[in-house]
Amino acid sequence: MRDTGRIYLDHAATTPVLPEVARAMHEALLEGFGNPSSVHREGRRARAAVERARRQAAALIGADPEEIIFTGGGTEADNLAIQGAAREAGAGAHIVTTAVEHHAVLDACEALESEGYRVTVVPVDGDGRVDPDDVLAALTPDTVLVSVMLANNEVGTIQPVAEIARRARERGVLVHTDAVQAVGQIPVDVNELGIDLLSFSSHKIYGPKGVGALYVRRGVRGRLKPLVYGGGQERRLRPGTENVPGIVGFGAACEIAARDLAARAGQERRWRDRLIQGLLEAIPGALLNGPAPGQDGAAAAGGVPGLDGRLSNNVNVSIPDVAVDVLLAQLDLEGVAASSGSACTAGSVRPSHVLRAMGRDLDAATHVLRLTVGRSNDDEQIEQALEIIPRAVARLRRAGRFTVQRG
């Protein structure tokens, strides 16, 4: 049972599984238990369920089903793209990425670097946006892959991936985008983006955890080396008996995401803008991180019409003179689930590498509150949050609780 009276504002960390998704998984667990590789009826039934999910996942991003490789989540999809491309190209291969990527990308690059591969990390501007010219300038004759995220998980910045892809692919370089935060939130079409590889994840779109996919454009599979070896599943790129219930749940979540995307984005954008405006007005010294709502229009969103340069569900503010770990604990007690940025660095309150890359000082990069709205919310909750959060900040400031333990 879900807690009643809670205000869940952490949809970028994970989303609650939708009842329709859970029902599909329940059926797959109990009835569709066969091994999809088996030739008997039980096996064929499980195979049919996996292939249906593949069609649902492909449809959400405008791909062909055979271009979808199911993985154990977004992190694995990122690693398969990055390590897979570098290792297939071999020693001396060069990768270009940006300073604001998720750790799944940055740490994979770092691991490759420690083995002798070369990596260039391109800087971003004050809104967290990378300049396509800088990415292009970083290419060398040895570059095998460019990896630029579609939307940032901390500040919601949407990157000009389509332009980067068009120009980099003219040079024969593979282009990967981590679209874990973007898929299900903004329209994503692999052909409009023109990328070769795209990662997305089930638990960010109201599906189960531990399942995701890498889109691999037709003709690109041979340029990737698998991370693990075994049977022939997932076109040998991700062998191992399929996580059938997880994949079925992911497929159902993809279908629902495609169906509801336009209606949800408009509503969430209103909540986002209301929260940003309300927090900046009510909290002295609060500073918005990432692109201002409405700024730049479709151009900033990689040409996606009707969007500004910021994810429709993302609010990120620096709140000086407040220890965020104490604030988050206080908000939790008062029924508000919020975050200081990415879930992985939360808990230790390390300054955000994203905000540092955007030129924020150590203080602003450490005192961060991220709120991400979603299906769990309603108008009333947004107004309640706007009462609870500024009140908690004022109380903590009065008590002088602003020393932060930097991890």
181 binds ligand PLP (CB under 6 A): yes
Tokens 């089903």 identify what position? Answer: 65
Determine the Cα–Cα distance for residues 366 and 363; give it in Å rounded to an integer.
Answer: 5
Assess whether 344 carries a catalytic annotation: yes
| Contact flags string 123-162 toward ligand PLP, x per CB under 6 A | --------------------------x---x---------
75 binds ligand PLP (CB under 6 A): yes
- Residue of closest CB approach to ligand PLP: 74
The residues near 253 (Cβ < 8 Å, ≥ 6 apart) are: 17, 18, 21, 184, 202, 205, 206, 207, 208
The one among 32, 36, 73, 84 contacting ligand PLP by CB under 6 A: 73
Phi and psi torsions of 143, nearest 5°: -70, 125
The one among 25, 57, 95, 180 contacting ligand PLP by CB under 6 A: 180
Q: In Å, how far from its chain's centre is CA 129?
A: 16
* Catalytic pick among 121, 280, 343, 344: 344
Asked if 99 contacts 353 with a C-beta cutoff of 8 angstroms, the reply is yes
47 torsion bin: left (phi>0), alpha (psi -120 to 50), beta (else): alpha
318 binds ligand PLP (CB under 6 A): no
User: Could you tell me whether strands 314-318 and 368-372 are parallel, antiparallel, or unpaired per DSSP bridges?
Assistant: antiparallel
102 binds ligand PLP (CB under 6 A): yes
In sequence order, the β-bridge partners of residue 8 are 337
Phi and psi torsions of 345, nearest 5°: -95, -10
**# of chain residues touching ligand PLP (CB under 6 A):** 14
Nearer to ligand PLP, 212 or 251 (CB): 212
246 binds ligand PLP (CB under 6 A): no
Footprint of ligand PLP on 202-241 (CB under 6 A): 203, 212
Stretch that binds ligand PLP, among 69-77, 156-164, 293-301, 329-337 (CB under 6 A): 69-77
89 binds ligand PLP (CB under 6 A): no
The one among 79, 157, 201, 352 contacting ligand PLP by CB under 6 A: 201
Residue 337: count of CB within 10 angstroms of its CB: 17
Asked if 207 contacts 21 with a C-beta cutoff of 8 angstroms, the reply is yes
Burial letters for 196-205: b for 16+ Cβ neighbours within 10 Å, e otherwise?
A: bbbbbbbbbb
At 379, which helix (H) or strand (E)?
helix 379-398
Asked if 71 contacts 227 with a C-beta cutoff of 8 angstroms, the reply is no
Stretch that binds ligand PLP, among 130-138, 176-184, 252-260, 330-338 (CB under 6 A): 176-184
243 binds ligand PLP (CB under 6 A): no
Nearer to ligand PLP, 15 or 120 (CB): 15
Residues within the interface to ligand PLP (CB under 6 A): 73-75, 78, 102, 104, 149, 153, 178, 180-181, 201, 203, 212
Catalytic residues: 344
